[in-house]
Amino acid sequence: MKVMKFGGTSVGSAQRMKNVAKLVCDGQTNLVVLSAMSGTTNSLVEISNYLSLDNKDSALEVINKLYNKYVGHIEELYSTPEYKEKGMALIKERFDYIRSITRDVFTSFEEKIILSQGEIISTGMFHLYLLEQGINAALLPALDFMRTDENGEPDQQYIREHINSTLVQNPGYEIYVTQGFICRNAFGDVDNLQRGGSDYTASLLGAAIMADEIQIWTDIDGMHNNDPRFVENTKPVSDLSFDEAAELAYFGAKILHPTCVLPAKSNNIPVRLLNTMDPQARGTNISSVQYRDRIAAIAAKDNITAIRIHSGRMLLAYGFLRKVFEIFESYKTPIDMISTSEVGVSVTIDNTSHLDAIVDDLKKYGMVEVDRNMVIISIVGDLEPYSHGYAGKIFSSLTNVPIRMISYGGSSHNVSILVKAEDKVPALKALSAGLFE
Ligand code: ASP
Ligand code: MG
C-alpha cells in the first residue's frame, strides 16, 4: 500500500479535487491523506481568534463567508442531484456544529475542535466524490488512530496498532481516505499536529503500515536546489538522502514539513515529492541512499536571532558552555547554530519568546550582543571530509557577502552560514552561481 498526501492547494478547488481523484485511482490500494482546502485552516484560526476575544458577531461573519464558499464547491464538485444533496448535508452538519460551538464557553478545547473541521470537511467531500465516480472508497476517521502522548509527541505504537486494526476491520477497499493534521491527545481530546502537520500524518501512517512509499503531492516538481522565489533557474533535485531532506526541510525548504522525515527514515520508507500539475515529472526521491560527491541544495531560514556572549572568563576555563546552554534549556529555547572561540560563543535561536530573560541571565557570564533579523543559509550535500573542495567553492562564491557566523563539521552533509536579512538573496544567488553553474 502507498500513502498519498495532498496539501491544501492540491485540493483547493472542486476541479483540483477531481484531478486528485484521478491520481489516486492508479489501480493500486492507496491510503490518501488530505489537508483542508487552502485558506480554510486560516479562516478557522480567525474564527477561533474572534471567539477567544468574545466577538461572536465577527466569528459568525467569517463562518458564513466560509460556508458560502463551500456551497459553491459542492455545486461544482458533484454532477448528480443525489450527491449534491449528500455534499450539502455534509457541510450543513459541519457548519451547524461550528456555529453551535460559538454558543459555548470558548477554551483551547473548542479551538482544537474548530481547527479540525477543515480536514473533516475536505475528506468527507472527497470521499463522496469518489463514491459518485463509482470508486470503492472508505473514509477512515483519523481521530480513531492518530494520537499524541503526554509530551504532545505522536504515540507511534498506538498509531501503528490502531491504523492497522482499522484497515483489517475495513477490508477490500481500493482507496482509503483520511484526514491529515488532526489527532487526539493523551487525554482523548481533539488536537492537532501543528500547522502544516498533514505531511507528518502521512509519514507517521506510512511508517505505521510499512507502506511501499509515502508520496507528498504539492504544486511544484519536487525539492529545488535553491529557493525558486528568489533565484532563477533552480532545478528539482532528483534524489536526496533522508538526512539531507531533513536538514533542507528544517532550514527553510517549504515543500516538506521538517517533522515528516524521521518516521520515514526510522522505518526506511522512501518519500517522494510529486507535482499534481505535472504528475509525470520525476519529482524528488528521498531514501536511505547516500549520494556522494555533490552539493544537493541550498535553503534559507528567516527571522533568526544571533546572540554572542563574550567573556574573558571563558579563557582556559571549563564549564562555561554548559552554563550558557543551561540558560537556553531552562527557557525551552532550541539553539540552531553555534560557533565558539576561546573567549566567546555565538548561538542562533528561532524562537524569541524568552529572549529578554535569556539575555538577562547570560549577562551574568559576560558581555552579550543580540543581532535580530538574521538568516541561516544552509548548503546541504556530501560534505564528508574525503570529498574536499566544496568548502572552498562555497566560500569563494560568497566573497562579496558579509558573513556573521559559520558552522561546519556538525554533520557531514551541512554547512550553515549566518547573514543579515538584506544579504540573503545575494548570498543565495552567489551560491547557485558558484555551485551549480
Ligand atoms: N490544514 C493544516 C494547515 O493549514 C495542516 C496542513 O495543511 O498540513 O496548517
Ligand atoms: Mg504543507
- List pLDDT tens digits, range 296-342: 999 999 999 999 999 877 666 788 889 999 999 999 999 999 998 88
Virtual CA dihedral for 436, 381, 332, 358, nearest 10 degrees?
A: -50
Which atom of ligand 1 is nearest the CA belonging to 201?
8
Rounded average pLDDT over 391-415: 91
* Residue 196 beta carbon below 6 angstroms from any ligand 1 atom: yes
Q: Rounded to an integer, what distance in angstroms lies between the CA atom of residue 163 and that of residue 202?
A: 12
Which atom of ligand 1 is nearest the CA belonging to 119?
1
Is the CB of residue 343 less than 8 Å from the CB of residue 308?
A: no
Which atom of ligand 1 is nearest the CA belonging to 36?
1
* Residue 41 beta carbon below 6 angstroms from any ligand 1 atom: yes
Ligand 1 pocket mutation, candidates 114, 146, 181, 199, criterion most atoms within 8 A of CB: 181
Indicate the range of 29-33, 246-250, 298-302, 414-418 predicted with least confidence.
Answer: 246-250
Please give the share of the chain, as a percent, with pLDDT higher than 70.
99
- Give 46 Cα–ligand 2 centroid separation in angstroms: 19
* Residue 12 beta carbon below 6 angstroms from any ligand 1 atom: no
* Ligand having the closest approach to the CA of 217: 2
Rounded average pLDDT over 217-224: 92
The closest alpha carbon to 266, from 300, 243, 249, 250, belongs to 243
* Ligand having the closest approach to the CA of 202: 1
Structure confidence by residue, pLDDT tens digits, 37-89: 999 999 999 999 999 999 999 999 999 999 999 999 999 999 999 999 999 99
Q: Which residue has the higher pLDDT, 314 or 109?
A: 109
* Residue 381 beta carbon below 6 angstroms from any ligand 1 atom: no
Confidence bin at 90 (pLDDT 50/70/90): very high
| pLDDT confidence of residue 4 | 98
Which atom of ligand 1 is nearest the CA belonging to 199?
8
- Give 199 Cα–ligand 2 centroid separation in angstroms: 6
The closest alpha carbon to 400, from 422, 378, 385, belongs to 422
* Angle, CA of 133, 138 and 141, to the nearest 5°: 130
Say which amino acid occupies 166. Answer: T
- Give 195 Cα–ligand 1 centroid separation in angstroms: 5
| pLDDT confidence of residue 342 | 82
| pLDDT confidence of residue 316 | 65
Say which amino acid occupies 161. Answer: E
Region for 233 from its dihedrals, namely left if φ exceeds 0, alpha if ψ lies in -120 to 50, beta otherwise: left
- Give 202 Cα–ligand 2 centroid separation in angstroms: 11
The closest alpha carbon to 234, from 141, 185, 186, 297, belongs to 297
Rounded average pLDDT over 101-109: 93
Q: Rounded to an integer, what distance in angstroms lies between the CA atom of residue 309 and that of residue 253?
A: 30
- The grid coordinates of residue 272 equal 517522494
| pLDDT confidence of residue 315 | 66
* Ligand having the closest approach to the CA of 181: 1
Going by CA atoms, what residue is nearest to atom 5 of ligand 1? Answer: 196
β-pairing verdict for 295-310 and 367-381: antiparallel
Going by CA atoms, what residue is nearest to atom 6 of ligand 1? Answer: 196
| pLDDT confidence of residue 92 | 98
Confidence bin at 256 (pLDDT 50/70/90): confident
The closest alpha carbon to 407, from 399, 396, 395, 416, belongs to 416
